[in-house]
Amino acid sequence: MTESAPKKTLSSTPPADDITAVLVLADGTVFWGYGFGREGDTVGEVCFNTSITGYQEILTDPSYAGQIITFTFPHIGNVGTNHEDHETTTPAARGLVIRDEITEPANYRAEGGLAAWAEKMGLVGIAGLDTRKLTRHIRNNGAPTGVIAYNKDGVFDIPALLKQAQDWPGLEGMDLAKDVTCAQTYDWTTTRWQAETGYGTLENPKAHVVAVDYGAKNNILRCLAETGARVTVVPATASFDEIMAHKPDGIFLSNGPGDPAATGEYALPVINKLIHTGLPIFGICLGHQLLALAFGGKTYKMHQGHRGANHPVKDLRTGKVEITSMNHGFSVEADSLPDGVEVSHISLFDQTVCGIECTDRPIFSVQQHPEASPGPQDSFYLFDQFMDMIQKHKTAA
């Protein structure tokens, strides 16, 4: 008879008197630190992002719904925050983890500091822990569920926080698009930001695009407008008839959070009908995954996902390699795609599918975020490719 291993004892006593926050993972791993933002606790999937710029854009990306973001770059908060860099009105992320405590902002565009902004936005943050150790933990074991607790008094019930982390169901099987989509239809005409003039306004539209909002980033809509598209944004639950009532020249399927198979329960019947209209269709991120599912493909939960602004993607059609921004925890199974749907792009990190296209219809999608924000601009051409498809379709009609 063998003896069972002793149970791990979790101490609720911080290792130092000035500790004000703790991160507790579902496996019992505990990281102590210093809280900022909203006081209280938050639970979600703990992931990491390797970008060295654009933390405000990352935190306001709706695709991070249900997630706590660990920034691997240590100097987060150094350029402050401003009202122009939001990717949506209210952040959907659950919280953030950073290495160094936040310093005063040093940037001409700053309107305030990150800590005050996080508190205003309701985000719970923790600083001062070893983010390299945490990132290695995620890389080796997969993205865990975790709880950040911030208490200025330094009092924590670690067993209760551990149970909270263990009881959270996780992102697999979770439809989060319904939580971040727009409440009603609206028009979008703002174009991309320019250093000299700021954001512009579309004046002479060339085509009309209906964008289905599963959690769309503002900069995606700006990039569509930059190509000359007048954009009508509709909720994720919009019906086929509601979409077609706008008389679109093209359909855009946006990025978004959660499990594509769960969102697909209501999205796929609509997308299937849109495919058969013959209209040009372009999907990004969740929109890419939903398009693959609509064609009969399959998706799966990744070990740790791809999140950062330095991901190399190869265009199999040209051999060109693009450095891209990514943010996804699910991926398309290459072998599940039917005849007539080809893989157009792959990740050079792990050869996962990063793009598909139809051989007989003007339909394509990509896993990466070509609008960047933050990140490189190598993939901006995809928006022009979409507009070219629309113009050709209009000419042929």
Q: What is the pLDDT of residue 397?
A: 79
Q: Give all domains of the chain, ordered by start, each with its CATH number.
A: 21-167 (3.50.30.20), 177-396 (3.40.50.880)
* Identity of the amino acid at 371: E
Give the integer Cα–Cα distance in Å for 161 and 167.
10
**Do residues 390 and 230 make contact, with C-beta atoms less than 8 angstroms apart?**
no
Q: What predicted TM-score, i.e. pTM, was given to this entire model?
A: 0.96
Q: Roughly how many angstroms between the first and final C-alpha of the chain, as a whole number?
A: 78
Please list, in sequence order, all residues whose beta carbon lies within 8 angstroms of the beta carbon of residue 335, skipping any fewer than 6 positions away. none
For residue 191, is pLDDT > 70? yes
Count of all residues that appear for the chain in the document: 397
pLDDT for the residue 9: 59
Is pLDDT at 283 greater than 50 in this prediction?
A: yes
- What pLDDT, in 10s, does the model give residues 308-346? 999 999 999 999 999 999 999 999 999 999 999 999 999
- Token pair in block for residue 22: 């703790």
Give the pLDDT confidence of 351-383 residue by residue, as tens digits: 999 999 999 999 999 999 999 999 999 999 999
Cα–Cα distance measured from residue 279 to residue 259, given in angstroms and rounded to the nearest whole number: 26
Which of the residues are catalytic? 285, 369, 371
pLDDT tens for residues 2-40?
334 334 557 788 999 999 999 999 999 999 999 999 999
